[in-house]
Structure 1
């Protein structure tokens, strides 16, 4: 998915794509590689800048378009996807950093808005000293390989002064005292060079630039370029395997390639989400901006080369030829990663911040729905003054507690606010964002959870009878009624339609016989949602009915399944001549499969929300003390937090798309597998760094227990392989066998 989330941004991105198609198709870029390396401006640069594409984010009074940095990000991402050559990224980045300054940068910003190409150099990439010379300064030293330097007519340079501070100056490379030398760069679509200064006279400092903010802007826009590069790599690779045939079949129908393409898409979406998040963070606190930028550096920029390599390999040997365009994108991704320096520094920074900070998902909605927010705040304050007298029996799910506090929230429709009244408040996407924000403001107020009923209640409300809704909705909302899901069977796990549990019609109801397995919470559930075959002569996906079962019914035997952790969250359920009354059938007989599909769709979305659980508790504890593995722990913690941040940003982007009135996208399926990757990444880091603690079943911090509980999350809602198949067929549109 591209970075654009508003109609205006989509139109802007499309305009850039069309401009590139007209003026810079890849065959023309290939013909101009030597002139690009020499820093010659493309023939279309003047027209490009006349359209204002390069200055979308600059204020109108300075000659810009008056947009946001997020708007500029869409231009950069689209230009990268089109392999638009030249100094766009370096120029836009320099102007974005210059825009952080005070009025001392007004002339520079005006020059850049007018179309002057530019480059920016951060303190860590500069060996230039600034020495006082009367009322001005003399600059001496050099800078290493820098993208866009040869084409640059203005250079925004950070220097080092005698007192250890960083001073910023605007340079004109065509003046005396400046020597610029071109280099043959890895990215053939832009120039790269080095610079040396010998007593370059600078009259005044560009003041007001927060160096940390500048560093964040550089990383964020590089991440946008990398995300666009990877997006195009995914698109071209998928298009290739969709039509390329071997053995008389499209290679995209082979499961191995389908899964490889699906994993590539998931990682590309994580890259896009993290890049978008780093751009939007410019309006937040410096600490939040730093965490978002470091996360984007890790998830988008440094991940870029490997993701492009995966895309290239999907073409087979042809992708590795000089004539094939994919290697040009691979080169660009590699160069972008190198431009940010060592990956360890960004991992360490993310880890340091993650010790005490979590990435915020708050959205500045201004005065939108102010009356709704005020009324909500009053209700939540009243709830916060109450208690839940019955605590949760699952430490992983604090929202299962119930009592006076939850009763108030249930009456107010705030347990499941997205549902229609009277069960919810029919909250719009904007109102759901506000509800989340207001709950987050009240640390002592735990948001209620429906548990497994979260997946079942919508089916009862949408397809059940009035009597069923009246009987079950209120106690589910109040948390006094627990549910389980009686779907899976020993021979019908992922292939759910193969179930053999039978329900035979008898007077007044149905007689059920069968065997269910992997039933979460069956041992504490009051009721269960069950699938059973009521017409064995019907096709596989028909003849299945959806029942609500009282778990205290005679003939139900529950046998806990002890897990590797020693816990027993799952159960086998044996049903022997269990009578289910007619009024416990949901919908029409034989229509249960459609209801089950709807239930599972909600389940997969809910499981994606597990990102709210802290996956780095042990590493965070370890990072509090020094030791030989301290730096490695910080970097591992940073990587996990970056991955978590990317998933949160992915979900937040989807929310904002809904707020904009757009239809739902494929985020839930992608986020589910992204969580699988996160869980494996977190567990690998935890085991590798906690050492001997993993020898103990109980430890402080806990290591083995959360590790041994992990399979339930990896498998829940469908195995990873099933999820990849769904992504490949339903999202990427790859052919089935």
Structure 2
């Protein structure tokens, strides 16, 4: 997905990519190779005629009257087609000095000086220059430069040797930090465009290039590499979208935070995707004639100009230690007006009750699972779900976790009998019934369709025999959802039936705790020995089990992302606040803050897609993969930050927190296994999202 989510932005991006492709940016870059004075005048003229540099210029000055997010969408599209010459510099200048640069999109190029490099030096008529007092707008002739071709063949820079500031015009309310922040904001959008092209190019090639008689995209190694590119590209896109959104909101502290997340995420991410693109392309990607190296060159140049990842990470640590977090505001555009008063009244009634009475009240009001149909929820659409989340958060009311019931009940609601719904759904929501899930087996984990637990027809029901494993809550559950094979003579997926098993009253169930690497026993093995399950505990029809196991309610859950970061990330921030960390350690904490924030942003973007009435995007799959990495890496970082103390400690009162940190680090190792291994999920992402062959 590109930066833009709305229909307007999607159309703008598609239109500009189509238009920019006709410019043949890579061809122009090659033609100008070795010409240090190349200003790419024809490309700039075409950009001006298309109105791209003036998208954010006020309408009274002949511009489009757009905002930073409109500009970001355009920059992403132009970078996707590698449009050469000045564009990024003039856009940054227009943002910082809108009144003083108005009209220059037609009359000339206004660019900038950063770290003694003049951007667009051969063609810039005026330049923004930082000094101790702020920013000056000076004539290009007042800046002496040594022309450079540099790494990026699609741009030109000049090494500044002298600046005559005497005739410069002061830019009010802006300084060097503002210049860098604005440059990061818009360069992040370019990084997203570069990453998108590299991902699309690699996937397209992997789908048609054959080796050993098969498309290389069918090889798991290539599929995983492309899926990892997708993860990086989505992270870059989310961070680029967010920093442009923050620039438009007017909250300087939030924009600072978003810019530092982008600086940590976007430029390294674009470089990584560009390198992986060349790897997938193989020998052809290493040739000068292929465009891939031009994208790598621009990505590397952007990172060199604006990356400074460790500095940005350090600022993120300082910000988070002081209590700052990224708080994204969702603009519901008045669509919440019709539902918010009633929701607020319902939430207030729940909040007025003692804590122990709130769960029942949430269930009665349909607030616990609002996306489910009445009487279990409110049949709430995306807008109402977001409003409910906002009002519950404002009132300080937390929903209880329904755990495995979250998998069991949707199937019963959608496919169960009236008697099953009456018997199980509301009592489970109230916490009166605890569920476990008897799906995984020793030989059927990620490959669940190969399960061997069998169910044999008997009078009045079925007899189940087999072994299940990795079953959490089995030692405490009242009921279980269980998949068993009822027909061994049909294809694997068709011979499975979905059962509800009474874990308390059924004879023949043996639950054996499994001690995990944490030393605890949260999982269990469950042995089923001729366990009787009556017909009224079969959900839907025999043979429907595989279809039912994949059930989601038609009205999908839409969640409003909070500002709290992953648990271990917050713990790492606590350790940073306590002091004593070295510079490299603080930078590591800042990087986990950035990744945790990106994971939150993926959720926000998924919510916005739902609010726009769009189908699911890749964010949810990528969020799972990146979220696992974030939680595992952050938990390991927390332990690493405590050095030798982790080698010998006692989990007594004096070391209780360290013991919990170690337990969390060990426990998170299961995250890349549970619910489908990371490797299997990358296969799924490669095939279902990227369209790679099986």
Q: Distance in 2 between matches of 1:697 and 1:517?
A: 31
Q: Distance in 2 between matches of 1:620 and 1:47?
A: 48
Alignment of 1:85 onto 2:84: yes
Indicate conservation of the 8 Å contact 1:619/1:686, yes or no.
yes
Q: Distance in 2 between matches of 1:299 and 1:507?
A: 62
Query: What is residue 471 of structure 1 aligned with on the other side?
Result: 423
- Deviations 1:270-301, CA, capped at 9 Å, x for gaps: 11111111111120532222121111111111
Alignment of 1:13 onto 2:5: no
Alignment of 1:548 onto 2:500: yes
Q: Distance in 1 between matches of 2:89 and 2:549?
A: 52
Alignment of 1:272 onto 2:271: no
Q: 2:314 aligns with which of 335, 348, 371?
A: 348
Q: Offset of 1:121 from its aligned partner?
A: 3.9
Query: What is residue 261 of structure 2 aligned with on the other side?
Result: 295
Query: What is residue 249 of structure 1 aligned with on the other side?
Result: 214
Q: Distance in 1 between matches of 2:67 and 2:163?
A: 38
Indicate conservation of the 8 Å contact 1:49/1:115, yes or no.
no
Q: After the TM superposition, which of the residue ranges 586-595 and 612-621 deviates more from structure 2?
A: 612-621
Query: What is residue 393 of structure 1 aligned with on the other side?
Result: none
Query: What is residue 372 of structure 1 aligned with on the other side?
Result: 339
**Superposition pairs of residues 255-334 of structure 1, within 5 angstroms:** 255-282=220-247, 283=249, 285-334=251-300
Could you tell me which runs of 5 or more consecutive residues in structure 2 were left unpaired when the two chains were aligned.
none
Q: Offset of 1:727 from its aligned partner?
A: 0.7
- Deviations 1:230-271, CA, capped at 9 Å, x for gaps: 111111111112111111211111111111111111111111
Alignment of 1:411 onto 2:378: no
Q: Distance in 1 between matches of 2:300 and 2:555?
A: 39
After TM superposition, the score normalised by the length of structure 2 is 0.94
Q: Distance in 1 between matches of 2:180 and 2:490?
A: 64
Q: Distance in 1 between matches of 2:414 and 2:201?
A: 41
**Superposition pairs of residues 451-462 of structure 1, within 5 angstroms:** 451-462=403-414
Query: What is residue 612 of structure 2 aligned with on the other side?
Result: 660
Q: Offset of 1:373 from its aligned partner?
A: 1.5
Query: What is residue 591 of structure 1 aligned with on the other side?
Result: 544
Alignment of 1:651 onto 2:603: yes
Alignment of 1:157 onto 2:129: yes
Alignment of 1:623 onto 2:588: no
Q: 1:120 aligns with which of 101, 107, 112?
A: 112
Alignment of 1:225 onto 2:190: yes
Q: Secondary structure at the match of 2:151?
A: coil
- Deviations 1:493-543, CA, capped at 9 Å, x for gaps: 111111111111122211111111001111222211100111122221111
Query: What is residue 29 of structure 1 aligned with on the other side?
Result: 29
- Deviations 1:141-168, CA, capped at 9 Å, x for gaps: xxx12432332222122211xxxxx322
**Superposition pairs of residues 699-710 of structure 1, within 5 angstroms:** 699=655, 700-701=657-658, 702-710=660-668
Alignment of 1:145 onto 2:98: no
After TM superposition, the score normalised by the length of structure 1 is 0.88
Q: Secondary structure at the match of 1:95?
A: helix
Kindly tell me: are residues 712 and 521 of structure 1, through their superposed partners in 2, closer, same or farther at Cα, counting changes over 3 Å?
A: farther
Query: What is residue 103 of structure 1 aligned with on the other side?
Result: none
Query: What is residue 577 of structure 1 aligned with on the other side?
Result: 530
Query: What is residue 192 of structure 1 aligned with on the other side?
Result: 157
Q: Offset of 1:414 from its aligned partner?
A: 0.8
**Superposition pairs of residues 103-114 of structure 1, within 5 angstroms:** 106=99, 108-114=100-106
**Superposition pairs of residues 385-404 of structure 1, within 5 angstroms:** 385-389=352-356, 404=357
Q: Distance in 1 between matches of 2:12 and 2:164?
A: 43
Q: Distance in 1 between matches of 2:169 and 2:456?
A: 89
Q: Secondary structure at the match of 2:567?
A: coil
Q: 1:338 aligns with which of 299, 304, 308?
A: 304
Query: What is residue 171 of structure 2 aligned with on the other side?
Result: 206
RMSD: 2.4
Q: 1:539 aligns with which of 458, 475, 491?
A: 491
Q: Offset of 1:623 from its aligned partner?
A: 0.7
Q: Offset of 1:680 from its aligned partner?
A: 3.5
